Structure 1
Amino acid sequence: MEETYYKSSGKAPIGGVLFAIIAGVCASVILAIVYIALQWFIPIVYFNFLITFGLAYGLFYVLDVLLKIGKVRNKGIALLFTFICTLVAYYAQWCLFVSLMFNAEGTMGGDMWLKSSFNLDGFLYFLFHPMDMFSGIQELNAVGTFSLKKSVVSGWPLWILWGIEAATIIVYPIVLAFSGKTTEPFSERGNEWMRKRELEKQIAYIADKQALEQNLGKKDFTDLQTYLETDELGAEFATVTIYESDADNYQYISVVNHRLETNKKGDIVDKKTNVLQYFKIPERSL
């Protein structure tokens, strides 16, 4: 029976996986170093939360690109790969932070230690001596690593903040990976990811998903053409994304409903709802 929606082959080329792992681990360490450098030289506690989210998204983006280059279309392997690399990044940033703190001079001033210098030997030592690194974390927790409103944050409050940081760096990229590149249509015949193309024209809001799905399944595009010919859309409309490859005689489409609403602040909010995702249609239908 012909598949109505795209179903991944689940293939993961050994060469692509090895490439992704090697490049992913290296990229994770580099991003972790950049992350600590930004936190060290921009000692603003509230801004550091944004930096943490930046690291998490940066990890997802880089790892997703590596999976795309490696042509890995196995979601399970992609999630495991993302998990391993986020752990590497989290561990590496702690090794660097602990080494910097143990090389710091003076006392805590504002939100950071007064002076510190990067020591490669110290970073590598903690990198290959995890027990000493964990002991260092406990020592830092006892004395605190920053102050908030002139009060040093240490003990359980600091553990909680570090726990939130860990969840952000490790969990957030994995959540994003659930809808990453490995879930998009791949042309097995052409051995390439299908090109992504959005219709320039918005279409009418899809009120009856089931009817549209049934008609498309029968290769009846009358409803969709009618939607495309609608001019006045107002605050409710839909957008269509097409996935295609020169090697295949079919396409996949995704349809998203949009409803523009005004919130309490007077800002316009675009509320999106997936109608169809990767629905198979004949080639050149749209």
Structure 2
Amino acid sequence: MSAPAYYQPSGRFTVSGVLLLVILGTAAAVPLAFVYVYAIWYIPFIYINLFVTLGFGLLLGYALKTLTKSGKLRSPALVGWLSFALALWAWYLQWCVYLTLLFGAGETESLGSRASFTHTTFEADVFLGTLLNPPLVLGMLPRLADEGTWSIFGVTISGIFLYLVWLAELLILVLLTWNMPRSQAEVPFSELADEWAEKITLPQPATPFADAAATKLALETADWNHLQPHTEPDGTAHFGRLHFFRAPSDPDCCFLSLENVAIETDNKGKASEKTTDVLEYLRVPPRVCQELSTRFGAVPA
């Protein structure tokens, strides 16, 4: 008996799917870039900028992930490169918006001893001229780095430190925008039914997978009895969790992923989950898929 195989993306895609990702992804970056820059410009609290940048990357990444799913793109490499290009487009676009506001900047209004913002006007023709002139945009960056664009506690941030801040913002944007759609392209897909597998999380927790290597070996050799429901009382801090990925119209398309879950409580008593992947997208025979669904399909009263 051959060992179960792991899912491997087919690498298939359609021209219409690629165009959907590129055209709508390019368009989606426009309003997000505007919202991002205006938030950075008008919110006077510098330490919030990190969360604004994370929001920019997450929203754009989610949009590209949705387009990857809609376009049925099963090539992680292709999706990754296209998403990387779109992330750079979004990065360039936000600089164009920022420079437009900078060119229209007026008086600076103080909001106390530690915060202020600068009034500005947005001119569409200035924005379009900036957008169509990459040398101008890139040439402005060294000037801005020398002069500084913001200050904290009365100290203007400039030079190498400002470059590092810009680099961190770029990396956040690129990594989030690249990772989310690429991960979608790796999700199991039924070529027979031409549909994505749906993720189903089984409610009954499993005994923790203390030895991940032993668990993988057992399942790769079809030892399905290795997976057992957790017998500890409710509220335990450590347990395993099973996820199935099943195509609704293709019974043979069934893949299993496992993770360990640890419940951690901070000093304020707030609980949170920390998960660790144990196994991802292991093909499971339909019969075994049904058996495991029954075994872990209900939480005991």
Task: Indicate whether the TM-score tops 0.5.
Answer: yes
Corresponding position of 1:237: 239
Distance 1:89 1:36 in 2: 11
> Which runs of structure 2 are paired with 1:256-271 in the superposition (5 Å)?
256-261=259-264, 268=271, 270-271=273-274
Does the CA contact (< 8 Å) of 2:205 and 2:230 recur in 1?
Answer: no
CA distance in 2, matches of 1:144, 1:209: 50
* Partner residue in 2 for 1:137: 141
1:227-252 deviation per Cα after TM superposition (whole angstroms, max 9, x unaligned): 12735363221111111122232411
Tell me the CA shift for residue 137 of structure 1. 3.0
Per mean C-alpha deviation after superposition, the further-off stretch among 161-170 and 27-36 is 161-170
Distance 1:2 1:29 in 2: 48
Matched residue, 2:203: 200
Residue 177 of structure 2: aligned partner: 173
- Shifted more, 132-141 versus 95-104: the winner is 132-141
Tell whether the 8 Å contact from 1:187 to 1:248 is kept in structure 2 after alignment: no
For residues 73-131 of structure 1, the C-alpha deviation after alignment (integer angstroms, 9 at most, x for no partner) is 11101110110110000000000100110111135757555321111111111100111
Higher mean alpha-carbon deviation, 247-256 vs 149-158, is at 149-158
Whole-angstrom distance in 1 between the partners of 2:168 and 2:67 = 27
Structure 1 position 206, deviation (Å):
2.0
Structure 1 equivalent of residue 100 of structure 2: 99
TM alignment of 1:81-120, pairs within 5 A: 81-107=82-108, 109=110, 114-120=118-124
Structure 2 alignment gaps of length 5 or more: 294-301
Q: For 2:276 and 2:25, locate their aligned partners in 1 and report how far apart those are by CA, in whole Å.
A: 33
Query: Partner of 2:151: helix, strand, or coil?
Result: strand
Letter of the 2:135 partner, please give it.
Answer: M
Compute the displacement of 1:14 (Å). 1.4
1:137-160 CA-to-partner distances (Å, cap 9, x unmatched) read 333333322222123333333222
- Which deviates the most, 122-131 or 250-259? 250-259
State the TM-score, normalizing by the size of structure 1: 0.88
The 5 A counterparts of 1:62-81 are 62-81=63-82
Q: Is the 8 A contact 2:208 2:230 kept in 1?
A: no
The amino acid of 1:95's aligned partner reads: C
CA displacement 1:165-197 (0-9 Å, x = unmatched): 22222234334555x211111111111111111
The verdict on how the C-alpha distance between 1:113 and 1:11 changes in structure 2, with shifts beyond 3 A counting, is: same
Report the CA distance shift for 1:56/1:204 in structure 2 as closer, same or farther (over 3 A): same
Q: 2-side partners of 1:215 and 1:141: how far apart?
A: 56
Long gaps (5+) in structure 1: none
* Number of residue equivalences: 283
Task: Find the counterpart in structure 2 of residue 33 from structure 1.
Answer: 34
Tell me which amino acid in the other structure corresponds to 1:253: L
Matching residue of 2:298: none
Amino acid in the other structure paired with 2:240: A
Q: Secondary structure at the match of 2:280?
A: strand
Per-residue CA deviation, residues 44-90 of structure 1 (Å, 9 max, x unaligned), is 21111210111111121111111111101111011101101100000
Q: Which letter maps to 2:122?
A: F
**Offset of residue 41 of structure 1:** 2.2
Question: What is the alpha-carbon distance in structure 1 between the residues aligned to residue 199 and residue 281 of structure 2?
Answer: 11
- 1:178-257 mapped onto 2 (5 Å cutoff): 180-224=183-227, 227-228=228-229, 230=231, 232=233, 234-245=236-247, 246-257=249-260
Which sits farther off after the overlay, 75-84 or 107-116? Answer: 107-116
Deviates more, 1:120-129 or 1:32-41: 32-41
Kept in 2, the 8 Å contact 1:189–1:248? The answer is no
CA distance in 2, matches of 1:160, 1:208: 40
Q: Distance in 1 between matches of 2:16 and 2:34?
A: 27
Q: Which gives a bigger RCO, structure 1 or 2 (Cα 8 Å, sep 6+)?
A: 2
> Is residue 11–residue 73 contact of structure 1 (8 Å, CA) maintained in 2?
yes
Question: Distance in 1 between the 2:136 and 2:285 partners?
Answer: 61
Cα deviation per residue 1:207-265 (whole Å; 9 max; x = unaligned)?
344554455445443332xx127353632211111111222324111111123355677
Kindly report the root-mean-square deviation, in angstroms, between the aligned alpha carbons of the 2 structures.
2.5
The answer as to whether partners of 1:240 and 1:255 remain within 8 angstroms in 2 is: yes
Task: Give the Cα separation in 1 of the matches to 2:76 and 2:253.
Answer: 23
